[in-house]
A and B are shown apart, each in its own frame.
Chain A
Amino acid sequence: MPVFYGSEIDSALMLGTAGYPSPKILADAFARSGAGIATVSLRREGGGGQDFWALIQSLGVRLLPNTAGCHSVREAVTTAHMAREVFATDWIKLEVIGHADTLQPDVFGLVEAARILAADGFKVFPYCTEDLTVCERLLDAGCQVLMPWGAPIGSGLGLNNPHGLRALRAAFPDVPLVVDAGIGLPSHAAAAMEMGYDAVLLNSAVARAGDPAAMAGAMADAIRAGRAAYLADPMERTDMAIPSTPVIGRAFL
């Protein structure tokens, strides 16, 4: 099971709390998912914030607040401080958004904000790309986990760059890695786990499914299967056929 900043979590599924049809369906989805970590955010208090706080307290999961919507280092750092106080955790999913259409991370701002926050005692979970150099800089900045995107947030496209994600896994064998964003189907989540990723963070794939609780269960099953497959050491791929039935002893007819 994944270990983040010294804390072992009893599920490799990290689940977001946004976009569910109702609070009850959110709670049902969490129950079916077995997720150990819930992502949350901060927004202007306009009523509802206190009820939501009570709801997430009842889920029995660890909270990972995000800095979603922040487009600058200053916004992200201030939001992180506010989140630390409200959610009483030094964990922060750091998002510094660089592009409005793709919600692609601003990796330059991300590294800068990560360095500031890590120095201030935050345990930073950076939402990043699979770029090896950027990830190296994030580790240098004090991050002890990396969360590369699979595809743009909310797109459901799956793993856009499996080669890059595999290369990242190979480059940092001892760093906890999470595919964050872009997952649409259980097969996408399983594929990430089969590559040796430590966890998958998803939200829309469950919240926007016709039956969120059922999809949460399917995701949990897929993630378990993917992890088990990775640990079982999958066979090598080849381009040509290799007969599985023994050739020796074949009859001449």
Chain B
Amino acid sequence: MRITINGSPRDVAATTLAEALAEANLTGRIATALNGTFVPATLRETTPIRDGDAIEALAPMQGG
């Protein structure tokens, strides 16, 4: 299945958001959105992903 993670296409075997993040080595303090909607950390393991989904995984960054 092909999804997009942080703007880059990626083929994954994952079926949940948590598995997709693990496959992409996205760990640590991050927040996630699936197709533009926030998904809390507590729901990642039970949130299914489908072909064509777009995941954003955001981390703390400098800001003004």
Contacts and interface: CB of A to CB of B under 8 A. Distances in A.
Interface of A: 16-20, 26, 39-46, 48-50, 52-53, 56, 65-66, 68, 74, 78-79, 81-83, 85-87, 153-154, 203-204
Given A82-B31, A86-B29, A19 B62 contact: yes
B61 interface: yes
B58 A82 contact: yes
Contacts, number: 102
Nearest to B37: A78
B59 A49 contact: yes
27 contacts: A16-B64, A26-B62, A40-B60, A40-B63, A42-B63, A44-B57, A44-B58, A48-B59, A50-B28, A50-B59, A52-B62, A53-B28, A53-B29, A65-B63, A68-B63, A74-B36, A78-B36, A78-B37, A81-B38, A83-B31, A85-B38, A85-B40, A86-B31, A86-B58, A153-B64, A154-B64, A203-B64
A10 B29 CA distance: 28
A204 B26 contact: no
A252 to B, nearest CB: 63
Nearest to A154: B64
Interface residues of B, number: 23
